[in-house]
């Protein structure tokens, strides 16, 4: 009888603390383009999401390895909503920054972050700020920009 009571008590106590919630299937992002090399990687992805008002918008995810500390494996991910025209503007701005001198700097708001783009020789430095504080950085050249945006022009 003691064994039955012990078994019953143990079973009831374990089931009383179990919690099972409803799971939602999360739609994965679709890769637009990426660039990789031995010391860095950059990807651009998207997925269509329905807003509270019922309209469908395209949410993008820009991810890259933070080059602030090359020996540490740290990454940055920026989420932003963009129409095809806005994505074209971002691509054209990135390409333009590959052709300017070292004295040219542009600032863009992207989602909840601010991008600071500074021209380098045939490339540009991309620094990400959130709440006014610089948090991540990488750099891109023309070929890498074309690969990330999957463009040929």
CA distance 66 to 77: 10
pLDDT above 80 for 44: yes
Q: Is 152 exposed, middle or buried (0-12, 13-18, 19+ CB in 10 A)?
A: exposed
Residue 91 structure tokens: 């691509």
Query: What is the pLDDT at residue 88?
Result: 95
Q: Give the per-residue pLDDT at 48.
A: 92
Residue 35: predicted pLDDT: 92
pTM as predicted: 0.77
> Which residues 6+ apart lie within 8 Å of 94 measured at CB?
117, 124, 140, 145, 149
CA distance 17 to 12: 9
More confident residue, 131 or 128: 128
């Amino acid at each position: 009888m003691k064994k039955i009571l012990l078994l019953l008590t143990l079973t009831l106590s374990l089931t009383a603390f179990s919690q099972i919630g409803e799971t939602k299937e999360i739609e994965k992002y679709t890769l637009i383009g990426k660039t990789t090399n031995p010391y860095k990687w950059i990807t651009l992805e998207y997925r269509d999401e329905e807003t509270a008002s019922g309209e469908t918008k395209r949410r993008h995810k820009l991810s890259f390895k933070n080059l602030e500390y090359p020996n540490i494996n740290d990454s940055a991910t920026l989420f932003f909503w963009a129409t095809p025209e806005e994505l074209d503007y971002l691509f054209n701005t990135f390409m333009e920054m590959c052709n300017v001198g070292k004295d040219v700097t542009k600032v863009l708001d992207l989602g909840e972050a601010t991008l600071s783009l500074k021209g380098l020789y045939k490339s540009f430095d991309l620094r990400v700020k959130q709440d006014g504080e610089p948090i991540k950085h990488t750099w891109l050249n023309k070929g890498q920009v074309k690969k990330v945006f999957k463009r040929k022009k």
